[in-house]
C-alpha cells in the first residue's frame, strides 16, 4: 500500500472514531493498529508479566494513590513516550497522529498523552468509574486498545460504557479494537474473564 493510501485510511479511522463520539458519546475502530503490531504489543505485556515488572494498579492520581482490589484488580506498566521498542513506537506514532487530527479538525488543544499496559488476570475487574480525577482536570479523552488474540464471547471481559441518557453499551475486547470517549463524562466498567488474562493499553489525552 502506498503512503498516500495509508494516510487516507488512517484519516478515515480517525473520522470514524470522532463521528462515533459525536453521535454516540464514544468512538470505536476495529483495526486501529494491524495484527502484527497487536501481537508485538501483546508479547510485550506478557513478557512484562512473566518478568514481574507489572505492578498492581491504584486508584486516584500520583499524590493520592491507593490500592483497592475490591474496585480494580489490573496490573499495569507505563509506556515510555521515548520507547525504543518497535511496536510501542508504532502505537505511539499512531496515537500522536490521531491527536494531531483531533486538534486540527475539532480544535481540542491536546498537548500530551500517557499510556499504560493493563493486564487483568482471570476473575479480576474494574468497577464502574470515570477517568477524571476530582482534583486534577487534565485528562480530556480516554483511549483503550485491546490486545487479545481470538477473543470469544464465552471469554467475557466486556468493557461496558454507560453514556448519560442512553442504553449501556457492551464492547468485546477484540485485539486491535480501539475505543475513544470523554474522560470526565463516560462512566465505564471492565468485567472479569473467567477463562484467561485480558490485555489492553489504556491512554489519556491531556490538555
Check residue 65 and give its pLDDT.
Answer: 44
What pLDDT, in 10s, does the model give residues 143-172?
A: 999 999 999 999 999 999 999 999 999 999
State residue 4's pLDDT score: 79
Per residue in 17-43, is it b (16+ CB within 10 Å) or e — as a string? bbebbeeebbbbbeebbeeebbebbbe
Q: How deeply is 177 buried, as exposed, middle or buried, from its count of CB atoms within 10 A (0-12, 13-18, 19+)? A: buried
Q: How far apart are CA 132 and CA 170, in angstroms?
A: 21
**pTM for the full predicted model:** 0.92
Low-confidence ranges of the chain (pLDDT < 50): 62-66
- Per the CB < 8 A criterion, the answer to whether 115 and 201 are in contact is yes
| pLDDT at residue 136 in the model | 62
C-alpha cell at 177: 479494537
- pLDDT recorded at residue 64: 47
Q: Contact at 8 Å (CB) between 161 and 126?
A: no
Element (H, E) at 187: strand 187-190
- Compute the distance between CA of residue 110 and CA of residue 129 in angstroms, rounded to an integer: 23
Residue 57's pLDDT is 83
Cα gap 33→87, rounded to integer Å: 10
Domain range annotation of the chain: 3-206
pLDDT digits (tens, 9 = 90+) for 165-192: 999 999 999 999 999 999 999 999 999 9
Specify the CATH number of the domain 3-206: 2.60.120.620
Amino acid at each position: 500500500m502506498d503512503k498516500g493510501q495509508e494516510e487516507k485510511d488512517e484519516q478515515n479511522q480517525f473520522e470514524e472514531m470522532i463521528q462515533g463520539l459525536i453521535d454516540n458519546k464514544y468512538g470505536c475502530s476495529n483495526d486501529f493498529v494491524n495484527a502484527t503490531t497487536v501481537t508485538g504489543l501483546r508479547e510485550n505485556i506478557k513478557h512484562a508479566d512473566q518478568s514481574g515488572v507489572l505492578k498492581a494498579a491504584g486508584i486516584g492520581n500520583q499524590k493520592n494513590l491507593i490500592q483497592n482490589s475490591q474496585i480494580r484488580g489490573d496490573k499495569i506498566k507505563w509506556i515510555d513516550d521515548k520507547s525504543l521498542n518497535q511496536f510501542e513506537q508504532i502505537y505511539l506514532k499512531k496515537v500522536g497522529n490521531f491527536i494531531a487530527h483531533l486538534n486540527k479538525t475539532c480544535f481540542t488543544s491536546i498537548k500530551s498523552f500517557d499510556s499504560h499496559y493493563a493486564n487483568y488476570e482471570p476473575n479480576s475487574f474494574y468497577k464502574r468509574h470515570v477517568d477524571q480525577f476530582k482534583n486534577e482536570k487534565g485528562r480530556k479523552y480516554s483511549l483503550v486498545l485491546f490486545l487479545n488474540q481470538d477473543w470469544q464471547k464465552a471469554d467475557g471481559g466486556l468493557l461496558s460504557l454507560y453514556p448519560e441518557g442512553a442504553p449501556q453499551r457492551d464492547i468485546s475486547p477484540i485485539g486491535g479494537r480501539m475505543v475513544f470517549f470523554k474522560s470526565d463524562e463516560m462512566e465505564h466498567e471492565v468485567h472479569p474473564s473467567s477463562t484467561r488474562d485480558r490485555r489492553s493499553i489504556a491512554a489519556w489525552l491531556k490538555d
